[in-house]
Amino acid sequence: MQNVDPLFHVLFLCTGNSARSILAEALLNHYGQGRFRAYSAGSYPTGQVNPLALEILRRQNFSTDGLRSKSWDEFAAPGAPPLDFVFTVCDNAAHEVCPVWWGHPMTAHWGVPDPAAVEGVDSERLQAFRDAFRVLENRIKVFASLPLDTLDKINLQQRLDKIGSTADAGSGA
């Protein structure tokens, strides 16, 4: 009989759910190789995905299908997918009171500067999205490679926190 790895459900939270959390959702769904199902949401969603987030994803050949700006209320409601992990990717959401998540998922803060807040010429704004993409990509690659089945909760929490405390996450997480 074949041993089937569990599917872990991961929610990335931000305030507007238009850039960082959207990038993280797409990245983990890509790098998760079927072990993870990523979602994103916001405490005060803008209602639209930032066009530069979509542009960066398309330039890197990531799927943008199904990406939309939505409220975290969708994931706290009955019938929502059971969450194993919840990560905040911006400072604002990290200091807000989150809904009660059924099943008490593991949580960590992986703050990333908001590329949508950068003002300037198009090349500067696009560079901010590239930078956010790379930081999130590095962190998510480390997270996706963790031996989740062999880590106890304390060690796992330490690793999740360490991933979020470094600029590029490196390989030392």
pLDDT digits (tens, 9 = 90+) for 48-58: 999 999 999 99
Q: Please provide the average confidence, as pLDDT, over all residues in the chain.
A: 88
The catalytically annotated residue of 76, 80, 98, 156 is 98
149 closest CA partner among 4, 15, 1:
4
Percent of the chain with pLDDT over 70: 86
Give yes or no for residue 6 having a pLDDT over 60. yes
The single-letter DSSP state of residue 33 is: T
Q: According to the model, what pLDDT value does residue 101 have?
A: 65
Residues 42, 14 contacting (CB under 8 angstroms): yes
Give yes or no for residue 128 having a pLDDT over 90. yes
Question: Hey, what amino acid is at 67?
Answer: L
23 closest CA partner among 59, 57, 58:
57
Give catalytic status of residue 155 as yes or no. Answer: no
Q: According to the model, what pLDDT value does residue 172 have?
A: 41
Q: For the chain, what's the residue count?
A: 173
The catalytically annotated residue of 13, 41, 90, 169 is 90
Task: Tell me the mean pLDDT in the region 135-161.
Answer: 95
The domains found in the chain, sorted by start residue, are: 8-165 (3.40.50.2300)
Task: Tell me the mean pLDDT in the region 3-10.
Answer: 80
Give catalytic status of residue 103 as yes or no. Answer: no
Enter the pTM of the model. Answer: 0.90
C-alpha distance from residue 171 to each of 146, 156, 162 (Å): 11, 15, 11
- The pLDDT-based confidence of 22 (bands split at 50, 70, 90) is very high
The catalytically annotated residue of 10, 14, 27, 83 is 14
Give catalytic status of residue 14 as yes or no. Answer: yes
Q: How far apart are CA 55 and CA 158, in angstroms?
A: 34
151 closest CA partner among 94, 66, 84:
84
164 closest CA partner among 96, 68, 93, 100:
93
Number of Cβ within 10 Å of residue 158's Cβ equals: 14
Cβ neighbours of residue 123 under 8 Å, at least 6 residues apart? none
User: How confident is the model over 43-99, as pLDDT tens digits?
Assistant: 889 999 999 999 999 999 999 999 999 999 999 888 899 999 999 998 655 455 566
- Phi, psi angle pair for 4, to nearest 5°: -100, 125
